[in-house]
Structure 1
Amino acid sequence: MIRYGKSSGALLAHKKGFFAENDGLLNEGRRIGAVYTQQPRRTACKCCDAPLEGPRFTKQDIEYVLCGRCSHLNGAHEDTDAFCEAMYVQDGGASYAKTYSSADKDAYRARVRDIYVPKAEFLRDALSEAGETPETLRFADLGAGSGYFVAAMRDIGWPHSHGYEVSDVQVALAQAMISEDAVKAHALDAAAEIAGTVEADVVSMIGVLEHVQNPREIVAALRSNPNVRYFYISVPLFSPSTMIECAFPEVFQRQLSAGHTHLYTEGSIDWMCREFGLNRLSEWWFGTDMVDFYRSVAVELERNPETAALAGYWREMIVPALDEAQLALDTRKTASEVHLLMRFAD
């Protein structure tokens, strides 16, 4: 089962801060980038573990390398304990959680409904396509954040859904918004142990695999876990959004910045599947490249008093065409994101 495209309406509604708070978000990304560049140089590809050699470019003072073996886009520095502590765990994860938390229950529920329920429904359809009865399966969401995907799974009728998260702030929000048992906190170095022992038929990592220090160790642990049969991921991709960020350095960098120190490609996903015995079952390709393009131009127009009057015209020109333009990228599998349901080979 392969699907393409998704309406940009919900994203525009929920990400207004990306427009209004550009400078603050940009500066925070640069702060995190400065921490990242202080870490030791990466010597091996984060996906295939080959010696890191290939084409290089620099963005916001960070060097990136496209692996010559699997084509994975790597940041040139290591995701060390110090970097991950600064990114996700210090102050209970409050700084990182600002991007993902909701001010009240209505806003939380709206985000679950508009952004995460469609992901859960795709997973349900994909599992049904694979011959499963989804409501009988056990689900675990690793890197659950504030529990949005767990809430979505429970909303569509899967009560046996739980999450695991390193940020105390996000765990507290999830427990307040859903229930005490919805998301459990764990130490930063316990992720692989949880992956190897969790009692779940389906493990999801929605926008998480690109954040963990050790994606190879996590996938290997899931592969060794006799309980886990299905692996559902959403990962960011090396796509036009990356080029847009290079062309608009003064606009908040969403795709390749801060915790996104590396990006997947079709080649690196295929490599991961071959190495760890994963069969691709269902795919959903959709991106935010055109929204990023719209946002980048809008921010630059509004920043300059001489062009600010054009911002409204730009919005009227481009917003009605966003979904159609994005679909052209999605169907070519050059979008900024893909959702994949995979099954571990017997």
Structure 2
Amino acid sequence: MNFSQLEYLKALVQHGNFSLAAEKLKITQPALSLQIAKLEEELEFTLIDRRKRPLQLTPEGEVFYEKSVEILKLVNELKQVSFEMGDEVKGYLKVGIIPTLAPYLVHLFINKLNSDFPQLKIEITEQKTEEIIRQIKMGTLDCGILSTPVVAVGVIFERLFFERFFAYVSEKHPQFRKEKLDMDKITQEDIWYLEEGNCFQNQVNSICKINLQKEKSQNLIYRSNSIESLRRIVENQHGITFIPELATINISSELEELVKPISGQTPVREISLVTTRSNPKDRQITALKETIIQSIPKRMRQKPKGSVIDTNIKV
């Protein structure tokens, strides 16, 4: 058994088939199959159920894989020792950010991060909360930025900032002339919403107290994973959608009137950094965290008056 075989198994589990895993590892598929077979022969039990599509671990394989991931993470920690010994922040950081946050946050901090830490390379991917946490546990992401509270074991959360929720109201809607959106006077048919299973949409559902799972009684049903797509619908059609505070910063002056505070207790989402308890890239993650906090509007560093809306996510 060797570390390369463990890396091969990890790639195979991640990609679910031999050809994709071999391509990622830059080896041939027969070579990958041979190494997995050798590992199984040495262990004297089967790791992969090859009858399933995508491939799945056997019960014995799941136990072995969990331990092998822990070993690979320890090896990577040893590789990071040289970076941690010096004063300079450098290396490679893989970060996952939820899609309802990344388009509005990354451009605020990335130039400062590159300027302050030129030796630090950062790779950012947009992923849902559950996938970010899963990959952090596997070691394929170093940290994540997402909306909390979230119930999850094996990771820790550190609060970064708060965002208020705003309504984005069409000029054709009766409440467009109001200073604030009255939640008691909107109906299900008024609202354009994100695809279910998104933590932002879970929070919107809590704010609206409307069962958005029901079929809408209008000609166009538009389910999207993009807040920007929903904004375009509101601007050109009718109705209402909801946007986070950072999304309001770059709205053009001619569209600012479409942004409305929500009446009553202000709904708020909490944004946190998630990572593992013992992380070899603590210095790099701290640099990222501090840069983000310095780059956002000062008002968002403290919780505003209002209620933090639960994500209703358990991982």
Question: Quick check: TM above 0.5?
Answer: no
Query: Which of these two proteins has the greater Rg computed from alpha carbons?
Result: 2
